[in-house]
Amino acid sequence: MVRNSEDTKKRILKAANGLFYAEGIRAVSVDAIAAKAGLTKKTLYYHFQSKDDLVAEYLMSRDQPNLDAMRKWFDEQEGSIADKVYAIFDGVVQSSQHPKWRGCGFLRTAGELANMPGHPAIKAGAAHKKRFETWLTEVFKDQKLNDAPSLARQVVLLLDGSFAVMMVHHDSAYIEAAGRAAKQLVEASLKNKKRK
Amino acid sequence: MVRNSEDTKKRILKAANGLFYAEGIRAVSVDAIAAKAGLTKKTLYYHFQSKDDLVAEYLMSRDQPNLDAMRKWFDEQEGSIADKVYAIFDGVVQSSQHPKWRGCGFLRTAGELANMPGHPAIKAGAAHKKRFETWLTEVFKDQKLNDAPSLARQVVLLLDGSFAVMMVHHDSAYIEAAGRAAKQLVEASLKNKKRK
DNA sequence: TTATGTATACTCATCAGTGAGTTTCCTTTT
DNA sequence: AAAAGGAAACTCACTGATGAGTATACATAA
For A119-140, how does the pLDDT look when each residue is reduced to its tens digit (9 = 90+)? 999 999 999 999 999 999 999 9
Q: Are residues A44 and A69 in the same domain?
A: no
Name the nucleotide with the smallest C1'–CA separation from B6: C5
Name the nucleotide with the smallest C1'–CA separation from A49: C17
What number of H helices and E strands is found in chain B?
9, 0
> How many structural domains are present in chain A?
2
pLDDT of B125-146, one tens digit each? Answer: 999 999 999 999 999 999 999 8
Residue at B66 is within a domain:
yes
Q: Are residues A121 and A69 in the same domain?
A: yes
- What CATH number is associated with residue B79? 1.10.357.10
Q: C-alpha B104: how far from its chain's center?
A: 5
Q: Are residues B81 and B29 in the same domain?
A: no
* pLDDT tier, A6 (very low <50, low <70, confident <90, very high otherwise): confident
Q: Are residues B28 and B75 in the same domain?
A: no
**Is 60 exceeded by the pLDDT of residue B78?**
yes
**Is 50 exceeded by the pLDDT of residue B180?**
yes
* pLDDT tier, A64 (very low <50, low <70, confident <90, very high otherwise): very high
Name the nucleotide with the smallest C1'–CA separation from A28: C15
Q: Are residues B126 and B186 in the same domain?
A: yes
Please report, rounded to whole angstroms, the spatial distance between the CA atom of protein residue A14 and the C1' atom of nucleotide D4: 39
Residues of A in contact with B26 (CB under 8 A): 24, 26-27, 112
Does the distance separating the beta carbons of A168 and B164 come in below 8 Å? no
Could you tell me the residue range of the domain that residue B74 belongs to? 62-195
Mean pLDDT of B76-93: 98
pLDDT of A171-190, one tens digit each? Answer: 999 999 999 999 999 999 99
Residues of B in contact with A184 (CB under 8 A): 185, 188
Mark residues 13-42 of chain B whose C-beta is closer than 7 A to nucleic acid strand C. Answer: 39-42
Q: Are residues B87 and B160 in the same domain?
A: yes
Contact (Cβ atoms closer than 8 angstroms) between residue A75 and residue A91 = no
The set of residues, in sequence order, having a beta carbon less than 8 Å from that of A143 and lying 6+ positions away, is A81, A190, A193
Distances from the Cα of A137 to the Cαs of A55, A88, A91, A133, A140, in angstroms? Answer: 29, 15, 20, 6, 5
Residue at A53 is within a domain:
no
Does the distance separating the beta carbons of A156 and B157 come in below 8 Å? no
- What CATH number is associated with residue A8? 1.10.10.60
Alpha-carbon span A33 to A12, nearest angstrom? 7
Residues, CB < 7 Å to strand D: A 1-5, 8, 38-43, 46-47; B 1, 3, 28-32, 41-42, 45, 50-52
Alpha-carbon span A69 to A76, nearest angstrom? 11
Q: Does B20 touch chain A (CB under 8 A)?
A: no
